[in-house]
Amino acid sequence: MNQTDIYRKAIQRTFAELYSVPAESVDVVWNSEGVTVQCAGMIFTHQTGDDDHEFVSEAKTPSP
């Protein structure tokens, strides 16, 4: 398992815990532009190079 896979699993577990969903239902895509997480009907993004290390979503609350 490489470093990216370790980070991917950690992100997956964190979002699963935050939104009370199974970790397997959290989709994490990591590419050269950044990280995209799909969880609980929402999409969160983190751009490569952002120093704040924050995931951002346009939605305020998850959809049912």
Report H helices in 1-64.
3-19
**Alpha carbon 16 to its chain's center:** 9
Residue 57: inside a domain: no
Residue 9: inside a domain: yes
Residue 35 β-bridge partners: 30, 46
Residues 6+ apart with CB under 8 A from 52: none
User: Which residue segment(s) compose the domain that 23 sits in?
Assistant: 3-47
Residue 36: inside a domain: yes
Residue 59: inside a domain: no
CA atoms within 13 A on the CB side of 6: 3
Task: Give residue-wise pLDDT tens across range 6-62.
Answer: 999 999 999 999 999 999 999 999 888 899 999 999 999 998 887 777 888 877 655
Number of domains in the chain: 1
**Alpha carbon 36 to its chain's center:** 6
Distance CA 54, CA 39 (A): 15
Residue 52's pLDDT is 76
Residue 53: inside a domain: no
